[in-house]
Amino acid sequence: MAVQVASTQNTPILRVDPKKFTLWLFIVSIVMIFASMTSAYVVKRSDGNWLNFDLPEAFLYTTFIIVLSSATMQWAYLSAKKDAISNLNIGLVITLILSIAFLIGQFYSWSQLVGRDVYFVGNAAGSFIYVLTGLHGFHLISGIIFLIIVLISALNYKVHSKKMLLIEMCSTYWHFLGGLWVYLYLFLSLYN
């Protein structure tokens, strides 16, 4: 996030792009939501009456998928900086495909949970896992919508080395979503 300093009568003024600032506020609010949810998880787990179960194996696969999608998004971003438009488009399409694969994997994870008699209703352990993964999935869907907007712009040659704002913001949000999922996966693995 670039900060420009302008001087008017020897008084520095900090300027941040308002769209980037809004994105960062949105990210901070998501961090606060997940911090409170994982804190509540720890507190509720210590109360007792906690259903113990193995996490779905699909969570591990979706973790690899989202990390890979973060790498392809970074490739698309770097391609845009170099005006490698075909690589930019390929990177965005691969990221989109991987993100859909992630959502399918998450849905499959829920079916694995049901197969283990872990439901949304009945025990707080099940409720928390569905809410945490579902909330992340919701934010990933918003990321997919953003990704599609960037892809359409890139296909119309509106994303390149001189117009980077859209892909900068999208890649920032995408990397955040990937990091958030890795955090959730590690948290659920350690505290399950």
**Structure confidence by residue, pLDDT tens digits, 47-59:** 888 888 999 999 9
Tell me if 29 sits within 8 A of 23, measured CB to CB. Answer: no
More reliable by pLDDT, 170 or 3: 170
DSSP state of 122: S
Model-level pTM? Answer: 0.90
Which position has the token pair 């300093």?
A: 5
Q: Specify burial of residue 128 (Cβ count, 10 A radius: 0-12, 13-18, 19+).
A: buried
Q: What are the respective helix, strand and coil percentages of the chain, to the nearest 5?
A: 75, 5, 20
The count of other CB atoms within 10 Å of the CB of residue 35 is 11
SS3 156: coil
The domain ranges of the chain are 17-48+55-191
Q: How far apart are CA 133 and CA 90, in angstroms?
A: 28
**Mean pLDDT, the chain, whole residue set:** 93
pLDDT of residue 5: 53
Average pLDDT over residues 4-13: 62
- Could you list the beta-strand ranges (E) of 3-122: 4-8, 11-15
Nearest-angstrom CA–CA distance, 71 and 140: 16
Identify any residues that bridge with 95 across adjacent strands, giving them in sequence order: none
Determine the Cα–Cα distance for residues 69 and 72; give it in Å rounded to an integer: 5
How many residues belong to the chain? 192
Confidence of residue 2 (pLDDT cuts 50, 70, 90): low
Instruction: Single out the residue of 99, 91, 59 nearest to residue 72, CA to CA.
Output: 91
Q: Give the count of beta carbons closer than 10 Å to the beta carbon of residue 78.
A: 15
**Fold annotation for 17-48+55-191:** Four Helix Bundle (Hemerythrin (Met), subunit A) (1.20.120)
Burial label, 73 (beta-carbon count in 10 A; 0-12, 13-18, 19+): buried
Mean pLDDT in residue range 138-161: 97
